[in-house]
Structure formats: structure tokens, C-alpha cells
Structure 1
Amino acid sequence: MDYTLEVIPLPVSDLDRAKEFYETKCGFHVDIDQEVVPGVRLVQLTPPGSGCSVVLGDTVWESTPGPTPEPGSYQGLQLCVSDLKQAREELTARGLELSEPVSYADADGATFMYFTDPDGNGWSIQEYKVRAARPLREVI
């Protein structure tokens, strides 16, 4: 049996501001933006090429047990690209503020850059050059 990670709920304080940030500055595709039940709006976005999406909001945790995370409390969310320089050029052209690339070793997968969303949720972008030749999933 295969198990796929397809959606991560992401705590944000303002759905419209977060949607605009992820769509405009990060280039995520808006999959869903609708009221699913009265008073509950669902905004789901997917990074280009990804099989996993984020669902924005503060009401997505109401049906799950456990504590409700605060906006900005998620750190270490990670995107992978095969060409960090190209990704940096695309994202900065969109107006995204990124750290300078940091290389922790000479090995493939050891170079990163970082950004935060308007609430302070922290993301890294890892350069993993092997993805150019061996993507995680088949491109349709």
C-alpha cells in the first residue's frame, strides 16, 4: 500500500493576504478557494510540480484532535528544486524576499535558501540537482 503526503494545513492569520503571497510571490497554483460549509473558507494551493499542497486557514483544525497551531508557528517547511539559481531568479522577480544561498557541504542536496510568509511560517528551498534527471513522480 502506498501512502502519499498530499496536503499540509498551514496556520495563517489572514486568508486573503496569505493566498496572494503564495500565489503571486511563490507561484503556487490555487486549487481551491471556496466556502466549503457556511462560514468556513478553504484555500488550497500547490507549488509547481508538487504532489503536496498547503491548505491555508485557522479553521482547518476544528475537526482534528489536539492543539491548534498559531499562525507563524510552522518552521522547516521545505521545497526542493533542481536549480537553485534559476529558482532564485524566478522568485525574486516575483518579489519574494529570500536569503542568500547557503551551502553546508559539497554534496548534492546541501545548498539551501530561506524565506518566510507574512505570518512568519518558515520555508527552505533545497537544491537537489538529481531531481532534474530523477523526479520523485512521473510528470503527466
Structure 2
Amino acid sequence: MTMTTRILSVSVPVDDQDAALRYYTEVLGCELRADDEPWPGARYIEVVPPGSDVGLVLLRADSGIPVAVRLGTTDADAAHQRLSAAGTPPETEVLRWEGVPPMFAFADPEGNQLVYLEDAPAPGA
């Protein structure tokens, strides 16, 4: 099993999401990929540089959404079990929300925040 398939996005902590969105789109030339509110008070904004598959997630630290590197995995349940067996237990169970892939949060041995999202195979793969 391939545990990690790719980097999906990297969080950038911001104080003012509207100002950050303007900066990343109007000054840096990124394109808006998502601007959602998964629950009240938790705004998820993702921008992507043109031609890049890796997004930048502009998050307030107090949103409840992990400020983390988001990685793809072929099987979220298997990855969760493998991390637990390796002595780095995930911080959450595998979360299953309507409209989003199965995911869970964890930290590496240095304390860096990571999230695994089950990554669909690329078309034609």
C-alpha cells in the first residue's frame, strides 16, 4: 500500500481571511479553489497558484480546522491503523462527512500538524 499519495494543501495561518484572500489572489495571482464554512465560525479558504495542484489554505488559528499540511492517502482507515501501530496515534478518528473524503488529523514526532485525506485515484489511473 502506498501510504502517502501527494501533498494536497498547506495551511497558512492568517488573522484576517478576507485581507489574506485579496492578497493571495490580487497580488500573488492565485486562483480561488474553495471558500466554504463547514460549520459556523469555521471558514475554509483555499487558493492555488496557476498550474499547481497544491493549494494554500488560509485559516484562522481559532477556526477549529487544523492548521496543517494535508496529504493524500489511498486508504484513510489503513493509514490510521498504521500510524497507531507505529506509535504516533492520530488525534482524531477517521472523520466521514458528507461531500468530503474520509480524513483524520495527526502529528509527526516533532509535533507538526498533518491531515490525511483519502485521495481518489487520478482519472485513467
TM, length-normalised to structure 1: 0.43
Q: TM-score with structure 2 length normalisation? A: 0.48
